[in-house]
């Protein structure tokens, strides 16, 4: 009986129809791992259009533009507090440094489905968990008068396997990061929430901003999450998805206070500890929300939405 119930539950997941449409229409390509997909040219044409839209919207920011690979140093990961707060989402990178005998054991372990971990060694890298994280160590020192805005785009990884297409393990963020005074950080956050609502609403999505918290680990994490919420440090822009209209975050903003500037020694022009804030467009989440809302064929989307994406 339990198996029958499980099977019923599995087919009624709220994302079942959307996931089936994405895979059946070849918009996303499934892999052996939940939450890791190949992207079709159809999907990428939308993601690219959002990327360019984000750049047009931020053209007035006079932002420094940087790109990092999807890996970052372990030292950075520890120093910026990610290990402390989100150990369960980590993508630690390992390699093999043994001899031929150990190699044979590794191949054997793979063939028999045994755990490979005891035969591997850690490297000095992790998969990048948030696109702005590799930025902060590069900003050590004194910021110019008025602070600095940096535009960063790239892939992130968080270990959260799920069949929900919106819960990808590898996904892209396009961020505008501010480094400067506390007042400047709040103003950046407020300005970009407003812009985000306008831009995403212009794509035919029904959006609103809500106070949110990050999924901090464990019991101590519940306290960090409560603090984050009570201080309203994180906002998400959510849009309803699936038939049930589940509110789903498609962009977010975070005021980090001095969380990143303290470990990396980032100061304002007048010598005070800098504050940082970022606004991130969830490029894959926005792409998916559009595919969910307007259908899996972008050629058939409303003309006004297409005009914004492909001017």
* Token representation of residue 73: 């140093």
CB of 220 to other proteins, least distance (A): 4
How many residues touch other proteins under the rule CB under 8 A: the total is 12
Per the CB < 8 A criterion, the answer to whether 142 and 272 are in contact is no
Backbone angles phi, psi at 273, to 5 degrees: -65, 130
Is 219 near other proteins (CB under 8 A)? yes
Select from 102-110, 114-122, 186-194, 224-232 the region that touches other proteins (CB under 8 A): 224-232
Among 138, 162, 206, 227, binds other proteins (CB under 8 A): 227
Q: Which is nearer to other proteins, 23 or 83 (CB)?
A: 83
CB of 231 to other proteins, least distance (A): 8
Closest CA to 173 of 152, 197, 193, 203: 152
One of 222, 272, 304, 307 touching other proteins (CB under 8 A): 222
**Residue 126: CB partners within 8 Å, gap ≥ 6?**
71, 72, 73, 74, 77, 90, 91, 92, 93
Query: Smallest distance, Å, CB 227 to other proteins?
Result: 5
Q: Is 220 in the site for other proteins (CB under 8 A)?
A: yes
211 belongs to the binding site for other proteins (CB under 8 A): no
| CB-neighbour burial class of residue 160 (10 A; exposed 0-12, middle 13-18, buried 19+) | middle
Q: In the complex, what is the shortest distance from the CB of residue 263 to other proteins, in angstroms, rounded to a whole number?
A: 11
* Spatial CA neighbour of 142 closest among 180, 112, 176, 169: 180
Binding other proteins by CB under 8 A: which of 104, 110, 211, 226? 226
Angle, helix 41-57 to helix 283-294, in steps of 10 degrees: 120
**14 backbone dihedrals φ, ψ, rounded to 5°:** -60, -20
* Distance of closest approach, residue 257 Cβ to other proteins, in angstroms: 8
Q: Does 230 interact with other proteins (rule: CB under 8 A)?
A: yes
| Binding to other proteins, residues 55-84 (CB under 8 A) | 81, 84
Q: How many helices (DSSP H) and strands (DSSP E) are in the chain?
A: 11, 14
Q: How far is the CB of 118 from other proteins (least distance, A)?
A: 30
Decide: helix, strand or coil at residue 189: helix
- Name the residue nearer to other proteins (CB basis): 26 or 220: 220
Q: Is 228 a binder of other proteins (CB under 8 A)? A: yes
Euclidean distance between CA atoms 90 and 174, whole angstroms: 20
**Of residues 66, 109, 224, 308, which one binds other proteins by CB under 8 A?**
224
CA distances from 242 to 1, 18, 27, 106, 166 (A): 29, 7, 17, 43, 11
Phi, psi of 269 (to 5 degrees): -60, -30
Footprint of other proteins on 1-20 (CB under 8 A): none
Footprint on residues 93-152 left by other proteins (CB under 8 A): none
223 near other proteins, rule: CB under 8 A:
yes
Q: What is the binding site for other proteins (CB under 8 A)? A: 81, 84-85, 219-220, 222-224, 226-228, 230
């Amino acid at each position: 009986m339990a198996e029958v119930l499980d099977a019923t539950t599995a087919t009624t997941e709220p994302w079942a129809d959307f996931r089936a449409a994405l895979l059946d229409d070849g918009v996303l390509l499934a892999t052996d791992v939940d939450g890791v997909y190949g992207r079709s040219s159809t999907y990428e044409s939308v993601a690219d259009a959002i990327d360019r839209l984000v750049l047009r919207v931020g053209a007035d920011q006079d932002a420094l533009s940087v790109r990092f690979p999807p890996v970052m140093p372990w030292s950075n990961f520890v120093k910026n507090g990610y290990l402390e707060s989100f150990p369960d989402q980590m993508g630690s990178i390992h390699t093999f440094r043994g001899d031929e005998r150990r190699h044979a054991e590794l191949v054997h372990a793979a063939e028999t489905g045994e755990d490979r971990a005891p035969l591997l060694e850690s490297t000095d890298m992790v998969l990048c968990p948030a696109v702005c994280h590799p930025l902060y160590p590069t900003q050590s020192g004194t910021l110019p008068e008025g602070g600095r805005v940096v535009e960063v785009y790239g892939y992130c990884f968080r270990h959260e396997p799920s069949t929900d297409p919106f819960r990808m393990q590898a996904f892209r963020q396009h961020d505008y990061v501010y480094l400067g005074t506390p007042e400047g950080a709040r103003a950046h956050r407020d300005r970009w929430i407003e812009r985000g609502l306008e831009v995403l609403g212009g794509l035919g999505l029904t959006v609103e901003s809500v106070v949110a918290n990050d999924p901090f680990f464990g019991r101590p994490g519940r306290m960090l999450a409560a603090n984050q919420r009570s201080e309203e440090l994180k906002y998400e822009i959510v849009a309803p998805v699936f038939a049930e209209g589940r509110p789903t975050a498609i962009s977010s903003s975070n005021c980090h206070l001095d969380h990143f500037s303290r470990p990396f020694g980032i100061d304002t022009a007048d010598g005070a500890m800098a504050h940082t804030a970022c606004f991130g467009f969830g490029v894959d989440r926005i792409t998916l929300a559009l595919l969910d809302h307007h259908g899996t064929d972008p050629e058939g989307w409303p003309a006004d939405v297409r005009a914004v994406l492909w001017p």
